[in-house]
Amino acid sequence: MPPAEAVPAPALAAQENWARETLEKLAFANLKEQQSDRRWKLGLRLAWMGIVIFVIWQVFSFGSPATSPSFPHTALVTIVGEISSDTEASAENVMASMRTALEDPGSRALVLLINSPGGSPVQAGLINDEITRLRALHNKPIYAVVEESCASAAYYIAAATDQIFVDKASLVGSIGVLMDGFGFTGLMDKLGVERRLMTAGENKGFLDPFSPQTGPQRVHAQAMLDQIHKQFIDVVKKGRGDRLKDSPGLFSGLFWSGQQAVDLGLADSLGSVDGVARDVVKAPDVIDYTQRENVAERLVKRFGVAVGEGSVRLLNKPAVLR
């Protein structure tokens, strides 16, 4: 075989330069990628640190009134929307707001500004009891002022106050209890669908909408609702006393306009927050002590909901005052 031809020196130098340049480019590219990755990780850490600091700041600032007044004023706490343990009108939030308001030495009275269709009898009962306790503890009057509506559980709360003021067009009353749900047994029979529900305890599934409701189960549920209704009536009679007029439909679940509520003794007079502060409390400056859910708490709640989406939910709601 003929000997292999020798590679010319210039070509060999060019190949070496090309290889060196290629290695340098690869090294620089790898270094740049590492630097970019480090910057990304650093930016992500700084972002998370900022979120954590923001959340901590929001949590520690939650519930603090805008000012800490010591001059004479009327304290205000709002109860808006459904009264439930997971809303801003929960007993926990409302009671904490009332305590802060009445503990301030400058507050001359507390006004509860109510705009609610009702909600949980348990949450309303807790707030009702706390109103009675705080009024005796601080010896300050507590008034209710109704905006659009003060129905059912909201009226359960208002009944504990010293006086109730309404607008002539407000909706007031609805002193009753309900438990709602649906039954699909007839539809299932028509579709030929068989419900396979297994329970331990003959009445464990009586709120299941896909199972028939027996007579004894209906009697039991009705007795429970009647008992809660009686508790509601007793609270209203205790709070309103002889101001209530003798009306056959007063505790039937009906609701009335603000003017009608005054005529029936469910409310005392027409009035607004500013009017009550100026003419009744004699302290026209109004300070809002309402504890409101902040951004951090909403983020935490949404995160909790996302994590718990796979959990089993009850098909029927408990009894509500609505």
Position with higher pLDDT, 249 vs 304: 249
pLDDT per position as a tens digit, 144-175: 999 999 999 999 999 999 999 999 999 999 99
Q: What is the pLDDT of residue 53?
A: 74
Q: Is the pLDDT of residue 319 over 70?
A: no
Q: Is the pLDDT of residue 61 over 80?
A: no
Q: What is the pLDDT of residue 263?
A: 96
Beta-bridge partners for 144? 112, 164
What share of the chain in percent tops pLDDT 90? Answer: 50
Q: Is the pLDDT of residue 316 over 50?
A: no
Q: What is the mean pLDDT of residues 49-59?
A: 65
Position with higher pLDDT, 308 vs 81: 81
Secondary structure (DSSP) of 71-138: SSEEEEEEEES-B-TTSTT-HHHHHHHHHHHHHSTTEEEEEEEEEE--B-HHHHHHHHHHHHHHHHHH
Q: What is the mean pLDDT of residues 124-152?
A: 97
Q: Is the pLDDT of residue 186 over 80?
A: no
Nearest-10 crossing angle of helices 121-138, 91-103: 10
Least trusted range by pLDDT, from 4-8, 37-41, 110-114, 263-267: 4-8
Q: What is the pLDDT of residue 311?
A: 43
Q: What is the mean pLDDT of residues 126-147?
A: 97
Q: What is the pLDDT of residue 189?
A: 67
Gap between the Cα atoms of 262 and 150, Å rounded: 13
Q: Is the pLDDT of residue 66 over 50?
A: no
How many Cα atoms sit within 13 Å of 125 on the Cβ side?
Answer: 12
Q: What is the pLDDT of residue 108?
A: 97
pLDDT per position as a tens digit, 199-250: 787 777 777 777 777 788 788 888 889 899 999 999 999 999 999 998 888 9
